[in-house]
Amino acid sequence: MANGLMEGKKLQDWINLLLAVCLFVSPWVIGFAPEATPTWNAWIVGIALGALAVATLSVFAEWEEWASLVLGLWLIASPWLLGFAANVSAMWTHVVIGVLVAAIAAWAVWDYRQNPHAHA
């Protein structure tokens, strides 16, 4: 059971790493690179998510999942808080990736809370 749970964690962490890379390259791929605010937001949050995913891949810590959840929620709210909601491409990129990151982090926290001894 513990191996199955840890494998699930690895899957969640790999997905978060992939989402971090997607977020980082999104200004070029989606086409909002000329607009500084969403571009810098994508780069900074992408790097932070990637660092958390790599750290969690090596050694699981619940706080890293909570930090990922906060970053996911930030991505959802940032188009309005930073004022780039009018850029539909940037807004939807941030919201969709934010929802995915927050959902994966919540899933990881829920898994951990269901069986905390599997991580000891």
Q: Is 62 exposed, middle or buried (0-12, 13-18, 19+ CB in 10 A)?
A: middle
Residue whose structure tokens are 């001894």: 117
What pLDDT score does 4 carry? 44
Using an 8 Å Cβ cutoff, are 70 and 18 in contact? no
- pLDDT tens string, the chain, 120 residues long: the values are 344 444 556 788 899 999 999 999 999 999 999 999 999 999 999 999 999 988 888 776 778 889 999 999 999 999 999 999 999 999 999 999 999 999 999 988 888 788 765 554
Domain that residue 77 falls in: 2-119
CA distance 31 to 52: 26
What pLDDT score does 118 carry? 57
What pLDDT score does 36 carry? 97
CA distance 90 to 79: 8
What pLDDT score does 58 carry? 76
What pLDDT score does 55 carry? 86
Number of domains in the chain: 1
DSSP character string of the chain? -HHHHHHHHHHHHHHHHHHHHHHHHHIIIII-TTSHHHHHHHHHHHHHHHHHHHHHHHS--HHHHHHHHHHHHHHHHHHHHTT-TTSHHHHHHHHHHHHHHHHHHHHHHHHHHH-GGGG-
